[in-house]
Amino acid sequence: MDELLPPVKLFSTGLQHVAAMYAGVVAPPLIVGAAVGLSPAELALLISASLFTAGLATLLQTIGVWRIGARLPFVNGVSFAGVAPMVAIAHEQGPRNALPVIFGAVIVAGVLCFLAAPYFCKLIRFFPPVVQGTVITLIGVSLLPVAINWARGGSPSAPGYGSMRAIGLAASTLVAVVLCNRLLRGFWQQLSLLIGLAAGTLLAFPLGLADFGAVQDADVFALPSPFHFGAPRFDAAAIASLCIVMVVSMTESTADMLALGRIVDRPADEPVLAAGLRADGLATALSPVFNGFAASAFAQNIGLVALTRIRSRFVVAAGGGILILLGLFPVLGSIVSLVPQPVLGGAGIVLFGTVAASGIRTLAEAGMESSGNTILVSVSLGVGIVPIAAPTFYDSFPEAVRTLMHSGISAGCVLAVLLNLLFHHAGTARRSRTGRASGATVPTVTPS
């Protein structure tokens, strides 16, 4: 993970990470900006700010400062978990006041994450391999519907959404990635995703699913303006809702770091988790200064690490540097945005499926002959898939419950931890007291 690749390889593989995450970074500011009624120019500024702050957060995670940053090939970007609460704040506060209130709440949530990191990371003892494998599998399964929606066009309002052209383009990209991975060797095989994205984008032009309009309208350079939308305001209700979101994001980041640690053969221990969560918190607290939102892990890039087998954290750091350039030079960001949603969908099926496959491999190593482990995996996966199968299932529940359960990853992760306590902690302790199982052991994660 500490290998520094030659410049050309460093840039190209870093660009591959940016291509995999770009849509996820720009989607939250697009939704929130529309909710607060921003003009096209202001919306472009909000997107550039999100790219810029995602780059800073990624550099903080990969390079690290003091005890801040996991120093893993770990990508950070705008957390999608906060979109629904931020849109609700926008409707409550009105267009003129919404963004300062949102930014104030994000700052407090980031400080909470930073301060809670050394305590939250102690939950690792409740993440044995069977829990890790369940959560990693659920991460991949939860992301697959996103890729499928991208394959259809990304949004029902998009031209040609769900058409054979869009789905055919996604299928062509998927085939290109698979064939590149099978037929190419060495460095070119590691670039199979980027080659597939480029091939799909070129094919999209004659199909009428891509154009250069966004490039022509983009500014060449735009320096971030601190607190462009006004000084932050601190509203108690907004702070409470985004602090709940931050706890959910911390749970997902912990699961993602555990997943990535297993993929790169350096299991994440308590110090690594604490450093990673501190980076999440610090990046989140600083993002509003540059008009950005909460920062969190991007699970799709874990799939890219597993697919390419490039473990160098400096590759992801290079991706962070590219994100900063995209934020400073909107015209560059518009070039990356030329990649149509169906093309991302075809590549996403490979990426997210790879994450799920990594989870299945971890479960195979965890020992599924135990009936307790079988129940843990089956119930956690079943509950985690509920928001995917029925997105409105929890709509009648209280808001705090909806925030947790609407994320299948968080719901499945919490349930897996609770079932692990039931089957491997509570029962073992009770049998020890009665003298029937004094030699029982509890599955643990062994730090490297």
Grouping H, G, I as helix, E, B as strand and the rest as coil, residue 296 is strand
CA–CA distance, 330 with 338 (Å, rounded to integer): 13
Measured CA to CA, the distance from residue 33 to residue 45 in angstroms comes to 10
Decide: helix, strand or coil at residue 295: strand
Give 75-124 pLDDT, tens digit per residue: 998 877 778 788 878 877 877 788 999 999 999 999 999 999 999 988 77
Task: Please tell me the distance from the alpha carbon of residue 230 to that of residue 249, in angstroms, as a whole number.
Answer: 26
pLDDT band for position 362 (cuts 50, 70, 90): confident
DSSP letters for 396-417: TS-HHHHHHHTSHHHHHHHHHH
From the list 296, 241, 248, 228, the residue with the least C-alpha distance to 102 is 241
Structure tokens at 49: 């700010």
- Rounded-to-integer distance, Cα 323 and Cα 343, Å: 20
**pLDDT at residue 441 above 60?**
no
Number of H helices, E strands in the chain: 19, 2
Does pLDDT of 208 surpass 50? yes
Task: Give me the residue spans of the domains in the chain.
Answer: 7-146+234-340+348-434
What's the rounded Cα separation, in Å, for the pair 357 and 355?
5
Give the DSSP letter of residue 426: I
Residue range 47-62, pLDDT digits in tens: 889 999 999 999 999 9
271: tokens are: 């110090």
User: Using an 8 Å Cβ cutoff, are 2 and 64 in contact?
Assistant: no
CA-CA distance, 366 to 262, in Å (whole number)?
12
Q: Measured between alpha carbons, how far is 245 from 241 in angstroms, rounded to an integer? A: 6
